[in-house]
Chain A
Amino acid sequence: MTKRHEVNKMIINEIDSLDIENYLKKFLKDLLYFEIGNIGETNQFRFSEEYEKMIFKALKEKSEKT
């Protein structure tokens, strides 16, 4: 019932139900999809680089909306 892909699906669904701004929801989803696609990857530096890119994207989106 809660095998890995089901847990992942549940996590994504929970993000939608959170009372947070949309840009943050999108950022969290991007971040988790990225994690799902990189299971086993241990290079912390690569992750922080990718995360940074995602943060910039999210902030850009936020400023465009406002």
Chain B
Amino acid sequence: MKIKYVELENYRQYKKEKINFSIDENKNFTIILGRNGFGKSNILNAVTWCLYGTEDHLKTTEEVNKRFPIVNIEVLENLKNGEQTFVKVSVNLVGEGEEYLVTRSLRVGKHSSGDNFIDETSNLEVMYREGKNWYTPYYNNPTVSINAILPKEIRQFFFFDGEKLRQHFEKDVNKKIKDAINKISQTDLIDKAIDRLDYLRDKIRKEIKSENHRTQEIQENMTRYKELIEGAQRKLKEELEPQYEETTDNLDKINQKLRKCNVELVEQLQAHREDLTGTQKDLEDKRRSMKEKLIDYLIQRAPFILAKESVDKTNEIIKQLIKKKLYPPPIDFDYLQKLLYEDKECICGTDISKGEHRDTVKKLLDIAKYSKYPSKEASFVLSRINANCSEFIDKMSEQRKDLIETDKKSQDTAKKLEEINYKLGEININEIKILESERRKFESARDDLTKDKAKYEIELKRYQTELERLNKEYDRELSKEIKYRNILLRKEVCDKSIESLQQIKKLLMNKIRLNIRKDTKDCFFKLITEKRETYKDVLIDENYNIEILHKSGFNALDTLSAGETQIFVLSFAAALRNASGFNAPLIIDTPLGKIDEEYRNDVSKILPKFLENVQVVLLVTSSEYTPQVRKNLSSRFTKDYEFKLEFNKNLEESKVIPYGK
């Protein structure tokens, strides 16, 4: 899918503007040059607002954003009392034989009292084109349609601000990436088949009219647990997860506002608070993992510890046997074997080749056989148990010491955070007071939601386990009645098929993850020509935690320079695009803003090379768009898609005009 145009009406600096983007495969770049405050980022915001209802890239220092959130100030001021109008953004998307028009609008206006109003919810509409006419899809769920084009969770890898690239790998982003990859991997075929098999299994079950009291009881319980599972899933998916996401977004926005509020002390304290929050989260993760390790160690060592008393007693018995020269056994197995099969004569000269004496020696050999090897094995096992027990206390104290230290660090950090919260709460600036109070509200809401989510997740797991158990019990009960044999066979096909499909899905998701890892790594190493030797590998684990391994073995993700981060994000976006098969456009605000001048040239040379066949829209400032950068990109755009922004302060209006004008 490519964006053919974006149309803005009364949206922030734009009164009525239509911006065409290049959809040419070879000349795939569109450049929009603009000074800070002229509305560059708001083009990006307009796209995310239209598609997802969020403005991800607000520059809070801009006066216009502070005064009114979304509508053009002049348009609003010129409204008479009682009049209303709409803020509207349309995005026209074209793909292979497909064309969609996504429009989001929001009612704003003036009450008869003269007070401004803005509706709380916007209206979203998705239309598709057939010939000359536009139609609404029959299933008419705009959000689903948009997620099929580009899921909300990974939008930040396609629509992003070059100055805020680090946020791509922060906090809960990995979970969002994992969920989104589940969505975009197009393994929905498996999900559908599982759903239908499940539906069918229920239908088959209902054919059974058993008179067996226990079977009926189990069936009723199964229905009840199914309802409980559906309820918990609904609660999580439709209520808690969206609320959690919204609350986290709001919290992030407030943090961002505090970070750039133009009050030096607040900016410093906020930066410190964010650092400490990060440290606190790391410490909490460390603490959790240490606790898990400690429990694992305890479980692993428990049999040895429990066996300790018996082992000591055994050792004591062995010692006594040794003392009495009864251990190791006084009969040597090898010697007896030699006598029996080679010498065939005892040391006393008795013939043992046959007869009663041979049988006696054979019996001795049998005893020796059992005592020789076990005695060696036993000493090994006993010494191992002893070693495990003796190191147990040391290892436990060591691990406990580390845990106490981490606990202490975590408490210290929490104390420092409290102090910062207090200092920020004491700052007597109205705007800061409001932001802090909002922040506290969202933080507490987020903590409550985290607890609620965990509670429902645990309950869901419990219900699922119980349902599984009931299912097995139900089958066992039914198998006692021959008349249900045929039904059970059909049900068994459903059971086994569901299990196989779930297994396939797991395997596929793993393969897709490994593909994403390989593509990201290949692309990243191809592009960081100069520092190729510095990094060893790119790792993406099952939870989509990303690491860039430095040649010395540590994770270098947090130490990447702005240019390297830029390249890494682009590499990851390219890998995501490959994995999903969606050819979504890339819109990058200030793509070279944080990159040093000498590196800027390299990146602008590299960008077109590996963004072939990808629609790219660059929103640049004049300090980024140097003559050299322009030259480097020139093979990828035509003058029809090189624009600049003009801002008329009196009219509070930005216009997109051709670059050369």
Contacts and interface: CB of A to CB of B under 8 A. Distances in A.
Given A4-B581, A7-B189, A11-B508, A24 B496 contact: yes
25 contacts: A1-B515, A1-B519, A2-B186, A2-B515, A2-B578, A2-B580, A6-B581, A7-B185, A7-B508, A11-B504, A15-B504, A18-B503, A18-B504, A20-B496, A20-B500, A24-B496, A27-B493, A27-B497, A28-B497, A31-B497, A42-B139, A48-B199, A48-B200, A51-B200, A56-B490
Interface stretch (B47-55, B190-198, B246-254, B370-378): B190-198
A31 B490 contact: no
Given A1-B578, A32-B189, A52 B200 contact: yes
B494 interface: yes
B310 to A, nearest CB: 41
A24 B190 contact: no
Interface size class of B (residues with CB under 8 A): 20 to 34
A57 to B, nearest CB: 10
Contact of A7 (B187, B193, B496, B507): B187
Interface in B140-192: 185-187, 189-190, 192
B193 A35 contact: yes
A59 B496 contact: no
B517 to A, nearest CB: 13
A48 B504 contact: no
Nearest to A17: B507
Nearest to A49: B200
Nearest to A21: B496
A11 B187 contact: yes
A6 B503 CA distance: 18
Contacts of B196: 44, 47-48, 51
A27 to B, nearest CB: 7
Nearest to A7: B186
Interface string B490-502: 1001101100110
Nearest to A15: B504
B573 to A, nearest CB: 15
B511 interface: yes
A22 interface: no
A3 interface: yes
- Choose among A3, A14, A24, A42 the residue with the greatest number of B CB atoms under 10 Å from its CB: A14
A4 B578 contact: no
A interface: dominant SS: helix
Contacts of A58: 493
Contacts of B193: 31-32, 35
Contacts of B503: 18
A10 B509 CA distance: 11
A18 B496 CA distance: 12
Contacts of B500: 15, 18, 20, 24, 28
A24 B497 contact: yes
Contacts of A14: 504, 507-508
Interface in A14-44: 14-15, 18, 20, 24, 27-28, 31-32, 35-36, 39, 42, 44
A20 B501 CA distance: 11
Contacts of A6: 581
A39 B504 CA distance: 20
Interface string B479-491: 0000000000110
Given A3-B186, A4-B581, A11-B190, 16 more contacts: A1-B578, A2-B185, A2-B579, A3-B581, A6-B581, A14-B507, A20-B500, A24-B493, A28-B497, A32-B193, A36-B189, A48-B200, A51-B196, A52-B200, A52-B490, A58-B493
Interface string B577-614: 01111000000000000000000000000000000000
B512 interface: yes
A32 B243 CA distance: 36
B363 interface: no
Contact of A28 (B185, B501, B515): B501
- Choose among B196, B512, B579 the residue with the greatest number of A CB atoms under 10 Å from its CB: B196
B187 to A, nearest CB: 6
A1 B581 CA distance: 7
Q: List 5 tightest A-B contacts by C-beta distance, closest first.
A: A3-B581, A14-B504, A7-B186, A1-B578, A4-B186
A51 B197 contact: yes
A10 B515 CA distance: 13
Nearest to B184: A2
